[in-house]
Structure 1
């Protein structure tokens, strides 16, 4: 291995450490606890080293959001591929989305609530964001209905899932009805 390859590997390792530490702090103490000073102390590098990877907290949030989008896309595809039944696929997709949001609240916030400097729904959107949307669309295109734009249908279904995830987490919905809400969403919106 050349010196340059070793340096690149070490840099990538440091970047993964920064992001993992930011995620851990955010999941346990909230994004307010994620500061460059605290991150530098936790990873045992100076703040200038941290700034050599990311220009600040906003870029860290953006990087966490991209990681989260890739993880969510993988979870959605795995859930939807578990069956050939259309209704079961859409239900599994919805359940996987809501489960990801519940298990990873800080990452979910980075993806959809916080300013990570990412552009959504435009040509310049990062590939991980496009892939996250594609993971939803791949299953939903089959149930969009005749004459309905599959992209628009996916946006509406996604918005409904996001609303359920956000309102459930905020304690704004009656507890214990998560499964019934998902069934209603799948049955009425996807017309299955």
Structure 2
């Protein structure tokens, strides 16, 4: 390995250490505790060195947000692959979305700004669109097979998202009000009701 390759590998290793330290701080203390100085202390570097890899804390948050969306996209894609029927795909994908939110709650809170005081990054991240694209594809197929193939897919997508994201947010902000099992049942009922409505929707 040449000198240039070694330098590049070392640079990538330091970058990974910065992200790993950031994530560890978040897991132990929450997003509010994250700072460039605290990250530097965790990996025993000076703060100016951290700025050499990331312009500011927001740049680190954006990279962690991208990581979260990549994990979410993989889980949603995996859920869709288990079914051929678009109705079953949609239910499985939205349930995978739900599961991700609680298996990776810190990521979800950052990605969608739930009970987190930080900048909104989701709209500018291409990784966020990959999950939406997967959901949109199955929704388009379901609508095409429905009684009203001219139904507005955007309206239906946001109906799904409002229900799922709303229920997730309530559970994060008001944790313990209902058990997650009860909430999963509520979510399944809501998803199936929306799907049934799409299937039987007649043109107005």
TM-score over 0.5 (shorter chain): yes
In structure 2, the residue matched to 1:170 is 173
Q: Which moved more, 1:182-191 or 1:62-71?
A: 182-191
In the alignment of these two chains, the number of paired residues is 188
SS of the residue corresponding to residue 53 of structure 2 reads: coil
After TM superposition, list the pairs within 5 Å mapping 1:30-109 onto structure 2: 30-109=30-109
Structure 2: runs of 5+ lacking an equivalent = 200-204
Q: CA RMSD in A?
A: 2.2
CA distance 1:151–1:10, change in 2 (3 Å):
farther
SS of the residue corresponding to residue 59 of structure 2 reads: helix
Distance in 2, matches of 1:94 and 1:117, equals 22
What is the TM-score when the length of structure 2 is the normalising length?
0.81
1:84-133 deviations in Å (ceiling 9; x for gaps): 2333322221221111111112111111105446361xxxx332122132
Distance in 2, matches of 1:185 and 1:7, equals 53
CA distance 1:119–1:168, change in 2 (3 Å):
closer
What is the TM-score when the length of structure 1 is the normalising length?
0.85
Structure 1: runs of 5+ lacking an equivalent = none
Deviation >4 Å, runs of 4+: none
Q: Which moved more, 1:149-158 or 1:45-54?
A: 149-158
